[in-house]
Amino acid sequence: MAEHILVYVGHRNEQVIRPSLEALSEARRIADANGFSVSAVVVGVEGNDLPSECAYYGADTVYVIRDAALRQYSSDGYAQALKSIVDELNPLIMLFSADSMGKDLSPVLAAKLEAGLATDCTGIWIDDGHVNVKRPMYAGKAYATVRFKATPQLVSLRPKVFDLGERNAKRRAEVIERDLGTQEQDLRAHVIDVVQSGKQQLDVSEADIIVSGGRGLGGQEHFDIIEDLADTLHAAVGASRAAVDAGWIDHQHQVGQTGKIVNPTLYIACGISGAIQHQVGMKNAKFIVAINKDPDAPIFQLADYGIVGDLFEIVPALTKKLKEVVQ
Amino acid sequence: MNIVVCVKQVPNTETKIRIAEDGLSIDSANVDYVISPYDEYALEEAIRVKEQQGGEVTVITVGDEDPKGILQKCLAMGCDQAIHISDERLNGSDSLGIARCLAGALQQISFDIVFFGQQGVGTDCSQVGPMVSELLGLALVNVAKELKLDGTHVTAKREIEGAWEKVVCELPVAVTAQKDLNEPRYPSLRGIMQAKQKEIATKTLDDLGLAADAVGPSAVKLEISKMELPSPRKSGEIIDGASTEEKIEKLIQKLHDEVGVI
């Protein structure tokens, strides 16, 4: 009997949470290397699009929990639903993505199962059925290798670290529908609304390119030049703590120790000096560009490419040139 | 209203981390320990709830490092009493073990709301608050940006990617605090003086009625097999040029040739 890897594939309003597909892709890779089978579990969807996506990204089986009371997210409600699948399937490993839903759900489930959970992992491998993970600690100033001693082994994977696998629209999975009879009154907490922050914007934790502004911008109105460059590059807008604390931009955009840890392909830091707490948030970017008028700014030690100069001259000029090039 | 807040001591965020000789932990020599930054928002919210609703705030911490400094700060901010859970049989516990300790302590107190920081910037696991909520059957508001209490009814905003969720539940509730939930106060001089009169109780596993094999190293489901520093980034270059235009052209060339984004 093949061992199972169970993957929670999350969604909001039937839109898949993309990092979940990264987790599913990684599950497929592990399964192929070890002869395991992959099951996905989806909760609270009405249609079949999401179960099909799970199949296309490598699930052999998809459990679909249709309870009406779970249409809206509830951490205790979803954790209870997942427990019923774990009890039935007895998976060796369960994967989540460490996005906000995964980080909410996985510890509640781990406590229910009295299982070990390793969160926000950047590497995973198996030895003799034991999961080993690499995960950052002390805001990424150290990395721990952690080995599981008991099953089930629950792991959440850091978004944008694991590659999305091939999407094969011809792949089919066995779909198993369940209604667990969840009642509204059983749920301890309910999500009753989801409200977009400000304008519809790409979140820094999901972006391949981030253009980030800091204290050097001098004021809220100057974030315009950051946004223009971001728009031109189809990038997300990021910010240092200084800019957020000054009230120039919402905390959602903050990159750093008390903001978000990001993993983009390219991070462009404008008017950001590069304090250690900011560095821990962005030093995993594949490429870093820094623009700052202070040649001694610590950010230049981290950057692959730096331009020393006035960002009010450089950033708009860069945007203008990029627009020409892209044409 | 009875309010509890759980705090954790962590290395100061400025700390240069070194690996200990055993290769399994960080070197704690010369490390300055502070209250985890997210816990400060939890403390502030707990004290605000007390100021609005009346009641008392108890602060709890688990661990062996002498927490007297941080507990005094919590008391000076406005907590009324402190509990330090200390037992050498807890060395090497995992998140579930710590959660069980806190749940054990909470079960001995009557409480309506318990606050945590959304993650401790030491091990960065983000697990203890949600685990405690599950162990005690509490409603959970995780990563809270805003909290409103109306009698026993709780309405909160919880941060998610690019948006926020409106969450409703009834007391008792566990809340994990996100940055900017509030603006943490500095302890006043009066608060600092009053703190010296407030009680810090030390509790062992026996006091909590917990068996060592339920919370200590023998109970762990996972363990650290190695701790290491991250590999340093390759050093980069400052782009030079006679003019801004020239520097920008060079940068764009790099973005095209080497980064591959345009």
Place of tokens 């179960």: A51
How many A×B Cβ pairs under 8 Å?
260
| B-interface mutation test, from A82, A92, A99, A104, most B Cβ less than 10 A away | A104
pLDDT at B121 over 90: no
3-state SS of chain A: helix, strand, coil percent to 5?
35, 30, 35
Return d(Cα A157, Cα A22) in angstroms, integer.
8
Chain A residues close to B163, C-beta within 8 Å: 194-197
pTM (2 d.p.) = 0.92
User: pLDDT class for A200, splitting at 50, 70, 90?
Assistant: low
DSSP string, A282-315: HTT-SEEEEEES-TT-THHHH-SEEEES-HHHHH
Provide the pLDDT for residue A199.
66
- Indicate left, alpha or beta for B88 from its phi (over 0: left) and psi (-120 to 50: alpha): alpha
Return d(Cα B136, Cα B107) in angstroms, integer.
8
Return d(Cα A85, Cα B151) in angstroms, integer.
37
* Distance from the A170 Cα atom to the nearest Cα atom in chain B, whole angstroms: 30
Peptide bond into A152 cis (omega under 30): yes
Helix or strand run (H / E) with residue A96:
strand A93-97
Q: What are phi and psi of A5, to 5 degrees?
A: -110, 125
pLDDT at B162 over 90: no
Average pLDDT over residues A295-314: 96
The residue count of chain A comes to 327
The per-residue pLDDT for range B208-231, each reduced to its tens digit, is 999 999 999 999 999 999 999 998
Provide the pLDDT for residue A103.
96
The per-residue pLDDT for range A18-45, each reduced to its tens digit, is 999 999 999 999 999 999 999 999 999 9
* Contact check, Cβ <8 Å, B137/A188: yes
Provide the pLDDT for residue B177.
96
* Contact check, Cβ <8 Å, B130/A75: yes
Chain A residues close to B124, C-beta within 8 Å: 119-120, 135-139
Provide the pLDDT for residue B63.
86
Average pLDDT, chain A: 95
Side-chain half-sphere exposure of A194, counting CA atoms within 13 A: 12
- Whether A30 contacts A95, CB under 8 Å: no
User: pLDDT class for B65, splitting at 50, 70, 90?
Assistant: confident
Q: Is A92 helix (H, G, I), strand (E, B) or coil?
A: coil
The shortest CB-CB distance from B236 to any of A79, A303, A309 is to A303
* Contact check, Cβ <8 Å, B179/A258: yes
Residue B137: which residues within 8 A CB-CB, separation 6 or more? Answer: A188
DSSP string, B92-144: T--HHHHHHHHHHHHHTS--SEEEEES--TTT----HHHHHHHHTT-EEEEEE
pLDDT at B262 over 90: no
Q: ipTM score of the complex?
A: 0.94
Return d(Cα A178, Cα B63) in angstroms, integer.
43
Chain A residues close to B245, C-beta within 8 Å: 317, 321
Helix or strand run (H / E) with residue B60:
strand B56-62
- Whether A182 contacts A69, CB under 8 Å: yes
Whether the CB of A189 is below 8 Å from some CB of chain B: the reply is yes
pLDDT at A230 over 90: yes
Residues linked to residue B224 through DSSP beta bridges, in sequence order: A146
Return d(Cα B21, Cα A146) in angstroms, integer.
18
The shortest CB-CB distance from B169 to any of A189, A202, A257 is to A189
Average pLDDT over residues B84-105: 93
Average pLDDT over residues B28-36: 90
Return d(Cα B73, Cα B185) in angstroms, integer.
11
DSSP string, A157-198: EPTTTSPP----TT---EEEEE-----GGG-SEEEEEEEE-S
Q: Calculate the alpha carbon distances from B235 to A263, A299, A302, B79 in Å.
A: 18, 11, 7, 47
The per-residue pLDDT for range A282-298, each reduced to its tens digit, is 999 999 999 999 999 99
